[in-house]
Structure 1
Amino acid sequence: MDARSGHRVDPARWVAFQTISAVHRDDGYANLVLPKLLTEHHVHGLDAAFATELAYGTLRQSGSLDAVIAAAADRGVERIDPPTRDALRLGAYQLLHTRVATHAATNTTVDLVRTVAPGAIGFANAVMRRIGRQDWPAWLDELGPDDVGLRYAHPPWVVRAFRDALDKKSELEDLLVADNTPAPVHLCARPGRITAADLAAETGGTVGPYGAYAVHLAEGSPGDHPAVKRGLAHVQDEGSQLVATALADAPVDGPDSRWLDLCAGPGGKSALLGSLAALRDARVTAVEVAPHRARLVEHAVRGLPVDVVCEDGREFEDDPFDRVLVDAPCTGLGALRRRPEARWRRQPNDLPPLTRLQRELLLAALRLVRPGGIVAYVTCSPHINETRMTVNETIRRFDGGIEQVDARPLMENVTDSGDGPAVQLWPHRHGTDAMFLSLLKRA
């Protein structure tokens, strides 16, 4: 019930609508907005699950839903008032992608529009009834039967990027399906504090198939687990654990006590590296340019041998390090299943400034590592411009003495990760985010 309007909207749909609106109106992030709204409106249990499905599903499918709405409304969605547009997206998702009955989806959407845009009631009712006349496969046949981007709700440029990056082109649709499947929760058992087997037993999870520290949870709120609250574990995708562990296990020549995380926020990899460093009499310096993210790192590494520095990694100076991690800012195309709005928020023109930043950070890392030491370049994106091209171009610009180390033996349990020397993980193959890892050794 919206107290300001006096019109009745059920709590789950109201929370979902407010989440969608915050994402589109304020550039909010669903994973941050939704939990606050659920708490604020006292939505729990099955209603909370329903609100989450509606919000995340609508955001994930919004590009394809917009195509249907535009056809049903006979006008582009940019010409529809934003509150009405978001209500129609929510209604269209229910009609085309859930088991909600047609009349229920239509009536609740009209009730929602009556609350947020009273002047558009008739328009919304007409559009919803047109959408409900046929199901999703029929709309696909009408709008683009051969358009995989429309079918699986991915922008065309992202589909092209995935096709270019996949070594097996026939797996494209499998990857797009995996992107539309909500990601499971992965925990990292902090080395020296708890084993993965003990963490799995304590949380009711299962030990991950690849990493030595990974535990998979079927459901639940990971932050509520006592092991996480006690600092024995933290939430981290198994792919992120694998790339950080590969850096820690890669052979170096000479001493091995100074480690550097050059782009540390929000601190998951710093915490894992810090846990490993504590077992090896090493110390980690974690550099993060954004003050609020640096504070997150400080919280994540509490009690570990990690020093947090709030500074731009490109300008950071110190004595040479033995191991350096560059988990570079990227488009995040490898984690679309975790961020439903990201696929529509990112644009191709985001790439040039990001790849320039990635190369500058990797160059800084190569300057900061000592001869015989190793650098791990990591992105949560499979886009070729952000992976192989960034590595190759940076090596070319660096004045010699850089060897690409085969990273595959450092993930011996992982199969089908590419032809080397770099490793590319995939959601549809490995159940992880699409993490890329290149190991560079300074001669």
Structure 2
Amino acid sequence: MSASAPRRIAYETLRAVHESDAYANLLLPVSLARAGVSGADAALATELTYGTLRRQGTYDAIIGVAADRAVANIDPALVDALRLGVHQLLSTRVASHAAVNESVELARAAAGRGPSGFVNAVLRRVSRDTPGEWMARIAEGARSDDERIGLLTSHPVWVVRAFRRALAAEGRADELDALLAADNAAPSVTMIALPDLADRPADARATPLSPYGFRSEGGDPEATVTGADGRIRVQDEGSQLAALALTRALPAKAGERWLDLCAGPGGKTALLAAEALKVGARVEANEVVPARAGLVRKAVAGVPMEVPVSEEDGRSRAARDPGAYDRVLVDAPCTGLGALRRRPEARWRKTPADVPELASLQRELLDAALVACAPGGVVAYVTCSPHLAETTAVVADVRASWGDAVEELPARDVIAGIASSPPDLPAQTDGTLRAQLWPHRHGTDAMSITLLRKA
């Protein structure tokens, strides 16, 4: 007997995520294609993979109680089999015997008969109680309210606190539960038809914020993407708005030069290029990681204009052309806390210690972008993170160093002018004009968008 293909693929993806720092959203589609798995089986493998990663913190606490030992003291190969089994037992309609037996088979294949007996015993212990009973049990062991919230919602405590502070900056701290729940829900697939280059499919539903976004009523979008020569692609609506905010912050004119300073993987670059094509502007891109630079070149291939892609540190790339660009996009490297719905493993990889180093890089990139910006030009500073140390603190530091040479433009008003339906974008309590998008409120990644005009 062996585990079914969907469970085997899900297990192998989990192992790669935890052993090799692989990204599930990149590895899983490749694994499914290589195995020839599609349809309902592919959907099951996807649910098992992402569901297990999203709820990993909660499942680890449950495994610790059921096994009477912390997961850190269990063979990692067995831990992933246990996580997969617990997810099926507590969060899916999979029959208990199937969840237990197939997880045991995965453990046996990975570690042998003896260790698989341990997995069998732990999962049978978990199966004897209801999900509600397990949640109550682990909540009782929490040492603080924030730890209890973290255990029940499967978020590290430091992320819970960062989210609360970011929401409080809008006077909306009471939305924390809704935000954490949204992080654990599978996001709908949002796509874009590049302006003037592609039309939405006939069965598409327009998105409420981006004028070019849509959601298809069909299933796998791959066929639509493949047949569109790069002019229709999957792209979160928040990502679309970040690029559009730069192009719409001030009226664009023919002959302008635009720079996407941290361009990988290229979705925003492609939209910038399509927008530039309409007004006669030129777009250049830069991405320091060669593999991601290759993705940028692939992303812009469907736009009939030349988009040079350099492979440099963004700081040195900007310094090479001071005052040369009318618009600069800085989609800065960040913790990625705004995309936990789509990259659930990120919540377990990042720590508070990562934030200061990232914030330092973000300040340097934003400062460099302003150097590259022409007088009267606009810089869009974007992070896929709502963490205040990566958003308002970075902008405040850079603005302080530039003084009156930089003014902030009303990003919330710009976004409202783009959207077909007025978005709920409350003012920031610190008086800044930043626009903060949220998964629970807008159905997007938690994208932060700040617009700065160079005097």
**Normalised by the shorter chain, which TM-score bucket?**
over 0.9
Query: How far has the Cα of 1:231 moved from its partner?
Result: 3.0
Structure 2 residue aligned with 1:244: 243
2:84 & 2:19 partners in 1: Cα distance?
15
Query: How far has the Cα of 1:100 moved from its partner?
Result: 1.7
1:249 & 1:281 partners in 2: Cα distance?
15
Which portions of structure 1, spanning 4 or more consecutive aligned residues, are displaced by more than 4 angstroms? 252-256
Q: Percent identity?
A: 51
The SS at the match of 1:251 is coil
For 2:154, the aligned partner's letter is A
Structure 1 residue aligned with 2:125: 130
Structure 2 residue aligned with 1:165: 166
Q: Deviations over 1:315-368 (max 9, x none)?
A: 111152111110101111111101121111111111111111100000001111
2:265–2:296: 8 Å Cα contact kept in structure 1?
Answer: yes
Shifted more, 267-276 versus 232-241: the winner is 232-241
Structure 2 residue aligned with 1:90: 84
1:326–1:365: 8 Å Cα contact kept in structure 2?
Answer: yes
Query: How far has the Cα of 1:114 moved from its partner?
Result: 2.0
Counterpart pick for 2:46 among 52, 67, 75: 52
Q: Normalised by the size of structure 2, how large is the TM-score?
A: 0.91
The SS at the match of 2:291 is helix
- Aligned pairs (5 A) from 1:86-235: 86-118=80-112, 119-144=114-139, 147-166=148-167, 167=170, 168-194=172-198, 198-201=199-202, 204-225=203-224, 229-235=228-234
- Aligned pairs (5 A) from 1:7-86: 7-86=1-80
The SS at the match of 1:386 is coil
1:309 matched to 2:310: yes
Shifted more, 425-434 versus 408-417: the winner is 408-417
1:342 matched to 2:336: no
Structure 1 residue aligned with 2:433: 421
1:29 & 1:90 partners in 2: Cα distance?
17
The SS at the match of 1:329 is coil
Structure 2 residue aligned with 1:434: 446
1:407–1:423: 8 Å Cα contact kept in structure 2?
Answer: yes
Number of residues paired by the alignment? 432
- Where do 5+ consecutive residues of structure 1 fail to align? 1-6
2:224–2:232: 8 Å Cα contact kept in structure 1?
Answer: no
The SS at the match of 2:28 is helix
Counterpart pick for 1:357 among 352, 358, 361: 361
Distance change in 2, residues 1:29/1:91 (3 Å): same
Aligned-residue CA RMSD in angstroms? Answer: 1.8
Q: Deviations over 1:143-177 (max 9, x none)?
A: 11662211111111111111100121111111111
1:184–1:218: 8 Å Cα contact kept in structure 2?
Answer: no
For 1:431, the aligned partner's letter is G
2:443 & 2:295 partners in 1: Cα distance?
26
Query: How far has the Cα of 1:39 moved from its partner?
Result: 2.3
For 2:83, the aligned partner's letter is R
- Where do 5+ consecutive residues of structure 2 fail to align? none
Structure 2 residue aligned with 1:378: 382
Q: Deviations over 1:281-337 (max 9, x none)?
A: 110111111111111111111233422111111011115211111010111111110
1:255–1:322: 8 Å Cα contact kept in structure 2?
Answer: no
Distance change in 2, residues 1:381/1:228 (3 Å): farther
2:258–2:282: 8 Å Cα contact kept in structure 1?
Answer: yes
1:255 & 1:439 partners in 2: Cα distance?
21
1:278–1:305: 8 Å Cα contact kept in structure 2?
Answer: no
1:328 & 1:193 partners in 2: Cα distance?
28
Distance change in 2, residues 1:43/1:233 (3 Å): closer
Q: Deviations over 1:159-198 (max 9, x none)?
A: 111110012111111111111111111112111213xxx4
2:230–2:300: 8 Å Cα contact kept in structure 1?
Answer: no
Distance change in 2, residues 1:40/1:200 (3 Å): closer
